[in-house]
């Protein structure tokens, strides 16, 4: 039976994460919510004279990465995201420039402990935004709450790294 050392146990909290995207200038997003995307290889049905059975597929597919970001004070991270999304379009319902491609960027989600110490990161490779959600301005709320927006990213792959020696 596994035991948990009280000196090393600390609850992980999803709001302790920062997404940084490598660009001309690095773009940082403080995250309020994100899901580590799932992966799938699927199954291929194979028939023999007695029975159809499944074999593992050979194509690894990743679910989209969905993040909820706090809007920066001057909306800089939101504006940078919108500009990035616009690199894949020229403003028309059809492409007038056939060679125009959306910029793909790499980045990482840095995972922090409750004490603000880095304990891991998720490297995300060749990503690009496919949706940027709306920002809701709620004037009825008595408490000041940060503005947020959601962003869905498609990407080629990701790699999770945890630091076993991190100061928790």
Q: What percent of the chain has pLDDT over 70?
A: 79
User: Could you tell me the pLDDT band of residue 103, with boundaries at 50, 70 and 90?
Assistant: confident
Q: How far apart are CA 150 and CA 141, in angstroms?
A: 20
State residue 100's pLDDT score.
Answer: 58
Task: Give how far Cα 72 sits from Cα of 39, 76, 77, 149, 168, Å.
Answer: 31, 6, 6, 11, 28
Q: Model-level pTM greater than 0.85? A: no
Strand 17-21 to 43-47 pairing: unpaired
Task: State yes or no: pLDDT of 115 exceeds 80.
Answer: no
């Amino acid at each position: 039976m596994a035991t948990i050392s009280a000196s090393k146990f600390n609850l992980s909290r999803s709001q302790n994460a920062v997404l940084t995207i490598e660009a001309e200038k690095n773009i940082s997003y403080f995250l309020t919510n994100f899901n580590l995307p799932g992966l799938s290889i699927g199954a291929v049905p194979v028939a023999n004279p007695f029975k159809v059975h499944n074999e593992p597929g050979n194509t690894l597919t990743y679910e989209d990465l969905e993040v909820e970001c706090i809007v920066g004070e001057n909306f800089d991270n939101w504006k940078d995201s919108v500009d990035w999304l616009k690199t894949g379009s020229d403003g028309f319902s059809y492409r007038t420039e056939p060679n125009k491609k959306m910029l793909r960027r790499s980045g990482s989600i840095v995972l922090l402990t409750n004490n603000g110490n880095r304990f891991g990161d998720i490297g995300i490779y060749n990503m690009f935004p496919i949706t940027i959600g709306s920002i809701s301005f709620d004037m009825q709320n008595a408490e000041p709450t940060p503005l947020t927006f959601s962003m869905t990213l498609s990407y080629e792959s990701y790699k999770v790294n945890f630091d076993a020696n991190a100061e928790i």
